Amino acid sequence: MPGQIFNQLTLVGCGLIGSSIARVAREKGVVGKIVVADPSEPVRERVTALGLADEVTGDIGAAVAEADLVIFATPVLAIGEAMALAAGDLKPGAIVSDVGSVKGTVADAMATHAPAGVFVIPGHPIAGTEHSGPDAGFAELFDGRWTILTPLDNEDPHYAEAVARLSAFWRACGAQVEVMDAAHHDLVLAITSHLPHLIAYNIVGTASDLEGVTEGEVMKYSAGGFRDFTRIAASDPTMWRDIFVANKDAVLEVLGRFTEDLQALQRAIRWGEAEKLHDLFTRTRAIRRGVIALGQESAEPNFGRDRGKH
């Protein structure tokens, strides 16, 4: 057992990710006290009923005042605003992090509002499901998954100590930790997570718009690939709206590359270039086997295990 790493953890936002952190932090005994701040009364009621926290409030300032670790687990575009509300009440020496799926713009928003004397360390656990809300969380969510930390440019040795402490927290929660530059994170996630979601939203939209194909047929014959796309396309609309707004540049960059490759495939199909198709499909099958060999077959955000409806 790693033992207690922080006296008080405050989670701002307690949906799928926030409630999973609360569950595992309590289960592993890595924090002394858990406080949750969420503006939504129904969420606060569920958090209380589920016994996820020692205190539950709608007042962000009061929630962070005694915390030595604050984690923002709200949708991406709400993180800067939540940080602004918390800023005046943060304790000197507190570590302030987040779980947002985009790091560049979010890290800038956090750093802009941060008071002197706190350690802002943006983070992103690469783990999730397509479900949301406090009932959807579970303590094993981060087991064996990666949490990426994107520390700010900071030469202070105390900052490095804070990064080491936050890394120890995530390891105690079951995750593996990687440190990365925010811009690199956003590019990697644009191709591994954001673009696949965009494709899923698009293909499900196109199928339901197709003239002559009724929605009934889409449901009835959706086997294999399409069924998986519908699961991904059921992901939280607010969360994904925010991701595409916040990671615009990286998404547009990989989308341009993807569109070129798709056009090359279109040409190969038109001209009957069977070998070309076979070569690509062989290469991608090997990649899938590599993903399984690394034990990350369900690690992509929102590609996680289907825990049933909540």
Q: According to CB under 6 A, which one of 94, 109, 236, 247 is a site residue for ligand NAP?
A: 236
Residue with smaller CB distance to ligand NAP, 146 or 159 = 146
Q: Does 14 bind ligand NAP (CB under 6 A)?
A: yes
Q: Does 87 bind ligand NAP (CB under 6 A)?
A: no
Q: Does 302 bind ligand NAP (CB under 6 A)?
A: yes
Which residues, other chains included, contact 224 with Cβ-Cβ below 8 Å and sequence gap of 6+?
none
Q: Does 15 bind ligand NAP (CB under 6 A)?
A: yes
Give me the least distance between CB of 31 and ligand NAP, in Å please: 18
Residue with smaller CB distance to ligand NAP, 71 or 271 = 71
DSSP assignments along the chain, one per residue: -----EEEEEEE--SHHHHHHHHHHHHHT-EEEEEEE-S-HHHHHHHHHHT--SEEES-HHHHHTT-SEEEE-S-GGGHHHHHHHHHTTPPTT-EEEE--S--HHHHHHHHHHPPTT-EE--EEE----S--SGGG--TTTTTT-EEEE---S---HHHHHHHHHHHHHHHHTT-EEEE--HHHHHHHHIIIIIHHHHHHHHHHHHHHH-TT--HHHHHHT--HHHHHHHHHTTS-HHHHHHHHHHTHHHHHHHHHHHHHHHHHHHHHHHTT-HHHHHHHHHHHHHHHHHHHHTT-TT-STT-S------
Tell me, by CB under 6 A, how many residues bind ligand NAP. 31
Q: Does 173 bind ligand NAP (CB under 6 A)?
A: no
Q: Which stretch binds ligand NAP (CB under 6 A): 36-44, 49-57, 165-173, 201-209?
A: 36-44
Residue with smaller CB distance to ligand NAP, 75 or 104 = 75
Give me the least distance between CB of 216 and ligand NAP, in Å please: 30
Quick note: the x/- pattern for ligand NAP over 61-80, rule CB under 6 A, is ------------xxxx-x--
Q: Does 38 bind ligand NAP (CB under 6 A)?
A: yes
Q: What are the tokens at 113?
A: 């509002």
Q: How far is the C-alpha of 33 from the C-alpha of 280, rounded, in Å? A: 52
Q: How far is the C-alpha of 175 from the C-alpha of 304, rounded, in Å? A: 15
- Restricting to residues 107-136, name those near ligand NAP by CB under 6 A: 124-125, 128, 132-133
Q: Does 99 bind ligand NAP (CB under 6 A)?
A: yes
Q: Does 178 bind ligand NAP (CB under 6 A)?
A: no
Q: Does 177 bind ligand NAP (CB under 6 A)?
A: no
Q: Does 147 bind ligand NAP (CB under 6 A)?
A: no
Residue with smaller CB distance to ligand NAP, 15 or 151 = 15
Interface with ligand NAP (CB under 6 A):
12-18, 38-40, 43, 73-76, 78, 81-82, 99-101, 124-125, 128, 132-133, 236, 239, 243, 301-302
